[in-house]
Amino acid sequence: MLVKDKVAIVTGAASGIGRAIAEALARAGARVVVSDISEEGGHQTVRRITEAGGQARFFKADTSKPADNEALVAEAVARFGALHVAVNNAGIGGPLVPLGEYPIDGWDKVIAVNLSGVFYGMRYQIPAMKAAGGGSIVNMSSILGQVGFRNAGAYVAAKHGLIGLTKNAALEYAADNIRVNVVGPGFVKTPLVEKSLDAAQLKALEGMHPLGRLGEPSEVAELVLWLASDKASFVTGAYYSVDGGYLAQ
């Protein structure tokens, strides 16, 4: 029970990696506020957790809106008494277009969700964690926070920026016993990936990873769980890839 009696927020938890993280935290003893813009998926995540004996509730929030992030933190504190763990996982892919043709509204939306949304989250999570005597924040970047990827300029820029934001927060709040780390998954087998690619494209994507396959959401969740727990008590300001060897090439 690595996070027994801790209170956790997980954004983007209606499916995929976010759902796996919420379930892993709940199995390890946390009380989890599941957040997403998808009410149906969010409630399904909560049902899966509670049917397995865990504690969770759903709170609808759009992470690109500061007020929603403030309300989400307030809900966690009001419902469970404190905030100890926050996983800022919500993100979108955005258009796949060369920079010289990239739609301005597409750029604005990707940055709003993938970068500004994490800042807004931490802006309200950090004071709550200070009040609780400390905590752990895990931000979700990507392998594309370290390298480029043609036609995904907004996503790459946001995920690179998120690593810098994480390091800064880690330095600023280490004295308050708040650890802030960032995880960079490779391509992971989520409903979004499987629906958007055909069999040949999936095979090609698998071949980009030295392990010869896509990651599983649960494999990312295990790393996040460790970072959220006291097992990682001397770890802050760090970037961890979980990428099947992608970045080693």
pLDDT reported for residue 129: 98
Contacts of 27 (CB under 8 A, 6+ apart): 52, 54
What would the two tokens of residue 13 be? 């938890």
| Interval 225-234: pLDDT, tens | 999 999 999 9
Q: At what angle do helices 217-228 and 16-27 cross, to 10 degrees?
A: 50
Among positive and negative, which fits the CA dihedral 139, 143, 147, 149?
A: negative
pLDDT reported for residue 71: 98
User: For the chain, what are the domain ranges?
Assistant: 7-185+217-240
pLDDT reported for residue 23: 98
| Interval 159-195: pLDDT, tens | 999 999 999 999 999 999 999 999 999 999 987 788 7
Contact between residue 82 and residue 130 where contact means Cβ atoms under 8 Å apart: no
pLDDT reported for residue 108: 98
Q: Which residue ranges in the chain fall short of pLDDT 70?
A: none
Task: Check if CATH label 3.40.50.720 holds for domain 7-185+217-240.
Answer: yes
Strand 239-242 relative to strand 85-88, pairing:
unpaired
Is 155 part of the annotated catalytic residue set?
yes
What are the start-end ranges of the E strands in 127-248?
135-140, 178-185, 239-242
The pTM of this model reads: 0.96
Please state the φ and ψ torsions of residue 120, each to the nearest 5 degrees.
-60, -40
Active-site pick, 120, 155, 173, 246: 155
pLDDT reported for residue 191: 78
What distance in Å separates the CA atoms of residue 160 and residue 221, rounded to the nearest whole number?
Answer: 21
Q: At what angle do helices 117-132 and 153-173 cross, to 10 degrees?
A: 20
